[in-house]
Amino acid sequence: MQNSKSLKGSLLLLLTAAIWGFAFVAQSVGMNYVGGFTFNCTRSLIGAFVLLPFILLSGRKSGISQPYSAQERSLLLKGGLTCGFFLFLASNFQQFGIKYTTVGKAGFITALYIVIVPLIGIFLKKKSSPYIWAAVILSLCGLYLLCISPGESFSIKKGDMLVIICAFLFSFQILAVDHYAPLVSGIRLAALEFLVCGILSGIPALFLERPGFQQILAAWLPILYAGALSSGIAYTLQIIAQRDLNPAVASLIMSLESSFSVLAGFLILHQKLSRRELIGCAIMFSAIILAQLPHRASASADNTL
């Protein structure tokens, strides 16, 4: 039963990674029409709105007639504020980073959280087996082939630095979701997370960008994709799937968004994939498989992989 749940969670996170990967194109195109804070404000509020019908439907199916207790409401509010705050920081650093770097490179740098999550997890008493660390090393090798071209220097540009900071912030968001998802309603947590992110992003948008309706309307397609699919659907899948997975394994699977971002750039923006980049993608997929093998082989009582 545990293996079945883990497989389901892994497949849901793979779908999540694909949605996020293609969202990098939407984010890049959206910046041609509106500012970064405006984009994240509107996409996050759309994400929260999209989840409202699912919240009502889940309540009817479960037959919930009594309101949440004060303790349950407090926990949900605390989780939504915490996850929403980290999502606000991470998504805006990423959004402005994409403005100064390429779609594919932003996707791969963001995937650094595959290393950061297990490192932070050590201090939070999250256990990971040598298989996970081997997968992390493979992932780093894949990222190197994907990000660094032959003869390219290791100098960090403005856009790259913003996305590196985003990777650290997304690591905390992943761990926050891992903590609160088993304790509260996943859909309600996601909706509150998006609402908090949207409100926080809206404050600097009003003062710094002064968005107009015509600008937002011109960017309706990338905003709608990023809001309905990348926010409303994908982040909810993340919360549901992470209930049955170790956060280090979850971060490895979600890091495949970097590979999907390159694919999206190739299909939509006509960016070509070199042989070196294809090898890097293959290594990344190998790392994911390696991370899953010990998990399927044995499900330990303390969730150690």
pTM of the model: 0.80
Query: What is the per-residue pLDDT across 157-166, written as a single tens digit (0 to 9) for each?
Result: 788 889 889 9
Neighbours of 250 (CB within 10 A): 25
For residue 205, the model assigns a pLDDT of: 95
Give mean pLDDT in consecutive 10-residue pieces for the chain, a chain of 305 residues: 73 89 90 92 94 77 58 89 96 91 79 76 70 80 74 68 90 88 85 94 93 88 92 80 75 78 80 76 76 48 35
For residue 185, the model assigns a pLDDT of: 83
Q: Say if residues 42 and 227 touch (Cβ distance below 8 Å).
A: yes
CA distance 153 to 250: 31
For residue 130, the model assigns a pLDDT of: 76
CA distance 184 to 81: 13
CA distance 192 to 77: 8
For residue 194, the model assigns a pLDDT of: 93
For residue 2, the model assigns a pLDDT of: 58
For residue 296, the model assigns a pLDDT of: 44
For residue 305, the model assigns a pLDDT of: 33
For residue 299, the model assigns a pLDDT of: 39
Q: Please choose, from the candidates 206, 102, 85, the residue with its C-alpha nearest in 3D space to the C-alpha of residue 163.
A: 102
Sign of CA dihedral 27, 145, 170, 285: positive
The DSSP string of 115-141 is: HHHHHHHHHTT----HHHHHHHHHHHH
Percent helix, strand, coil in the chain, to 5, is: 80, 0, 20
- Domain boundaries in the chain? 2-297
For residue 115, the model assigns a pLDDT of: 74
Burial letters 15-38, b for 16+ CB under 10 A, else e = ebbbbbbbbbbbbbbbbebbbbbb
